[in-house]
Amino acid sequence: MHKHRRNRMRLYLWGAVGFAVLLFLMLFSVSQGFMHIPIKDSAVIIMKWLGLFHNTEMPKIETAIILDVRLPRVLGAALIGGSLAVSGAVLQGILLNPLADPYTLGLSSGAALGASLGLVLPMFGIVIPHFFSVEVLAFLGAAGTLLAVLFIASTGNRLNNTNLILAGVIVSAILSAAIGLLKFIADEQVSVIIFWLMGSLSELDMAKLLILTCTAILGISVSIFFSRDLNIMAMGEKTASTLGVNIFRLRLILLLVTSLMTAAAVSFSGIIGFIGLIAPHIVRFVIGPDNRTLLPFSFLTGAVLLLSADTITRVYLPAEVPVGILTALLGGPFFCFIFRKSIKGLIK
């Protein structure tokens, strides 16, 4: 009993530290940029926007920079990073694969193909209805990819781990070839597609944040609701079935939820890799594999990781580099490390 209370206090402490780090990082990030705004002034502007301050007047230019430009980007980075991290943790749980992340099933390639179509077709005078923006087409591409993967991998009432991953690889390869064709067709304007594929948070606004918030809340809530079943899944499919877990239903629901979160994130940010792979493993190393705590802490860690990467690319590099490049450069070696450990049997 005493040990249980001590572990719970340890989790509360880690949660408080993580939340404090995220808040400070968000406040620090909105104060940095081409025009430096003191952290104190940034905090006053945000609190006034939240309705906590009423009598404090701040310069209109600084207020516009914080609320219209930097704050949506900072909040979006936290939501996208957190959503990708939770998706990665869930996929690693249901696929029983430490290398799984939101892109294992080819969702990124589907979103990239949809976005590429939205960027290329208007170049050739093909009119796309206003509703089908690049973001909407990216979302539909990711959703369509999930349906294709499920159709290929399912056999009757079963979804096999290996089949799902192989189907994702196959579909991703086909979609990558289609994206290559669109790049060839775009010719001199191919840079537009390439820039989107590199991942960027520069186009975020409050309307997009509302969608990201809704998908994140829905996805995290459903994932945490099934966290006990995910814990049982870690003991193996046969054991989980014996203990009453409907594996097919669990996989289907969580695949749909993680795909929704990933599709929303990718459609607004482009391809940002490895956050969903790195964050869950960091959390497992610090607080353990229990999904009841792993999922919310993964969201917190993913938010901190992506926000840190975006702040570095936006503020400290000579020119703003797409954040997807930095996450790939940092995540690639980590992926190799996890792969080597899994080969040696050190990661279950």
Query: What is the per-residue pLDDT for 97?
Result: 81
Q: Give 130's pLDDT tier (boundaries 50, 70, 90).
A: low
Q: Which fold has domain 73-343?
A: ABC transporter involved in vitamin B12 uptake, BtuC (1.10.3470)
Report which residue type is found at 63.
Answer: T
Write down the pLDDT at residue 324. Answer: 84
Question: 121 or 82: which carries more pLDDT confidence?
Answer: 82
Convert 55-73 to b/e letters by CB count within 10 Å (16 or more is b): eeebeeebbebbbebbbbb
User: What average pLDDT score do residues 187-198 get?
Assistant: 79
User: Which residues is 159 bridged to in the sheet?
Assistant: 154
pLDDT at 138: 82
* Per-residue model confidence (pLDDT) at position 84: 93
Residue 70: name the closest of 38, 26, 135, 21 by CA: 26
Highest mean pLDDT among 64-73, 312-321, 339-348: 64-73
| pLDDT over 90 at 299, yes or no | yes
DSSP state of 322: P
Mean pLDDT, residues 11-24 taken together:
91
Tens digits of per-residue pLDDT, 66-99?
A: 988 899 999 999 999 999 999 999 999 988 888 7
Indicate the domain borders of the chain.
73-343
In the predicted structure, residue 132 carries a pLDDT above the cut 70: no
Answer yes or no: are the C-beta atoms of 307 and 81 closer than 8 Å. yes
Per-residue pLDDT at 344: 67
